[in-house]
Amino acid sequence: MSYVGRFAPTPSGPLHFGSLVSALASYLDARANKGRWLVRIEDLDPPRTAPGSIDAILSCLHTFGLHWDGDVMLQSERQSAYLNALEILQSQKLIYACSCSRAQFQSNPQYLCTCLAHPPADKITAMRIALPQQEITVGDVILGPQTQQLALDVGDFVVQRKDRLFAYQLAVVVDDAAQGITHIVRGSDLYDQTPRQVWLQQCLGFPQPVYAHIPIIINNHGQKLSKQNLAQPLNLAHAPSLLSEALERLGQATPCNFRQAPVTEQLAWAVEQWDISAVPPRMQDPMAFV
């Protein structure tokens, strides 16, 4: 099986250090396995796409020497593919209309949706997946296997929102299959979402990729490094030292005085030395500069 990996950022702003670590891990695993590395822009939600962010993300990847194969996929151009997948799920009677709001679920942990048994009269509804009483076990190269009882642990989730935008869970499964992704290396914040994605893959007849979830980078407050938590954009003038820092965070023991080496030299070394088994299951130390 030929290896195909991917990096799929959301264009809500510039890349930060956590994004770099994720991109680097997926890039190195692909190149070390003589595989292809693709880039997909997950711009499903137009209001969240910051002006100029897509170009800034791609330029940033180039600065760090992370050059991708083929064309960049944009989720905003994939609506017909998501609609086709939705219709397949509907033909299997796995989808139902739901008028419940997110606020209803968030305000009351005991809230139970009754839309499956009593279809809503509202014209504006989301489309929700009807999960079976089924147990899914998914292996993970770094974190090990996890098992979820989907109906109890996850509950019926939305695949198309009330505003007709498609949800991430459906889009990511459809796009991974369309791009022929065989290996997914991404942040551990998505670890518990994997079983539901595997279940969707089974329903749609898609192959299951190999998963590896790397530890997330945290700030001084113990929060995931993210745009939402005001993570600072990558300083491209410091690309070599930041790349070395990312390698060390991934458990790759770099040579002395490596931080001053050009990114091309660092990446060439890292591809040859890449050892995914050395990636720690969790990040112990926060980033001191964010």
Q: Which domain holds residue 106?
A: 79-169
d(CA 117, CA 183): 38
Q: Are residues 179 and 273 in the same domain?
A: yes
pLDDT at position 221, please?
A: 47
Out of 169, 202, 229, pick the residue that ends a domain: 169
Q: How many domains does the chain have?
A: 2
Spans of the chain below 50 pLDDT:
221-223, 225, 229-230, 288-290
Report the CATH number that the domain containing residue 34 is assigned in CATH: 3.40.50.620
Q: Are residues 180 and 226 in the same domain?
A: yes
Residues 6+ apart with CB under 8 A from 221: 229, 286
∠ at Cα 38 (34, 40), nearest 5°? Answer: 165
Q: Are residues 273 and 181 in the same domain?
A: yes
Which residues are paired to 211 by β-bridges?
184
Q: Are residues 58 and 132 in the same domain?
A: no
Q: Are residues 273 and 179 in the same domain?
A: yes
Q: Are residues 71 and 181 in the same domain?
A: yes
For 47, phi and psi rounded to 5 degrees? Answer: -65, -20
pLDDT at position 59, please?
A: 97
283: in domain: no
Tokens encoding 4: 């195909």
The candidate with the shortest Cα–Cα distance to 143, out of 181, 177, 180, 194, is 194
Q: Are residues 181 and 253 in the same domain?
A: yes
